[in-house]
Amino acid sequence: MRKPVFRADVPCRAPVAIDSGAQAIYANVVQRIAVFAALRWECQPVLKHLRRVSRGRLGTFPTWRAGTAERELWVIKTGIGIERAAAAAQATAAAAAFDLFLSTGCAGALSPALRPGDVVIATSVIGDRGQFAADGEAGAAARQAAERAALRPILAPVLCSPYALATVAAKQAAAHSGAVAVEMEGAAIAAAAAAAGIAFVSVRAILDAADSDVDSAAAFIAPDTGAVRPLALAAYLTRHPSALVRLLAMQRMMQAAQRSLDRFFASFFAAS
C-alpha cells in the first residue's frame, strides 16, 4: 500500500490529462486529490472554485479534472448509496495514484445540536463492515479551512447508512451508534481508500435536522440520481397540497447546506 505523502519537497508525478490550476490544499502539498459527491448539486460547490476544468467519465461516473503539473484535483459524481460509491472509489483508486480521498455532500443530523448548514468533519465513518478512521492531518486541514470560512466545524463520528433515514424515529435510533450525522456513501469511499493506502477525510454539510421528517421526498426524488421528477412532484402536490410548506422548507435546507460547502471549499482551495 502507498503511504500518503504530504510533503512539499517530494517530486510530483506526471499529470494525467489535467488542464488547469488548483491551488495548494495544505502548506505541505498533497499532490493528487479525489473529491467524491453523490449528486451534481453537491459537486457544484467544489467545481465553482476551479478553472478550465476538463469533463469526462470514469467508467459510468461523471468526472471533472483540474490542476497543474504539481497538483491535481479530480471530482467524481458517484450517485447515491454505498454500492455506487464503492464502485466509483475503487475505479478511481485503480485509475491513478492518489494522496487523498475526500467525501463530501450533505448529511442528515442525528444530534439535536446540529442545524442545516452546520459542517461535520468526520473523525471516523461507521459502516456495516466496520469503522474507518479519518486521516488526522487531513482532518486538521479541513477544520482550519472551515474556521477560516467562519463556519462552525464539528469533529465527530459519522454514520454511513445503506438506506435513507427519513423520519425522526429512524434518526433517534441511529444516534445510539455514537454518530452525530448520517450519510450514504462515506464508508465505501473510506474502505476503498484504506485498501489502497490513501488518506481519507469526510466533510459534510447538514441538510435536515434531527427533528425533521423528510420521508415525503421519496415520492418524487429519483433514487439513483437524487433528481426531482417533475411529474411525480406535481402528482404528489395534487394529492397533498399542504406539503408545499414542507417542500419549501426542504429547499431552504438544501440552500443552507450548499452555501456552507461553497464557503468551505473556497477556503480549502485558497489555503497555501
Residues 99-132 have pLDDT tens digits of 999 999 999 999 999 999 999 999 999 999 899 9
pLDDT of residue 144: 97
77 three-class SS:
strand
DSSP H or E stretch at residue 145: helix 136-148
Q: Is 68 left (phi over 0), alpha (psi -120 to 50) or beta?
A: beta
pLDDT score of 225 more than 70: no
pLDDT score of 268 more than 90: yes
pLDDT score of 255 more than 70: yes
1 — pLDDT class (breaks 50, 70, 90): very low
Among 93, 102, 151, residue whose Cα is nearest residue 122: 102
| Type of residue found at 228 | V
* Separation in Å, CA 94 to CA 13, 73, 127: 16, 16, 22
Cα–Cα distance for residue pair 255/241, rounded to 1 Å? 23
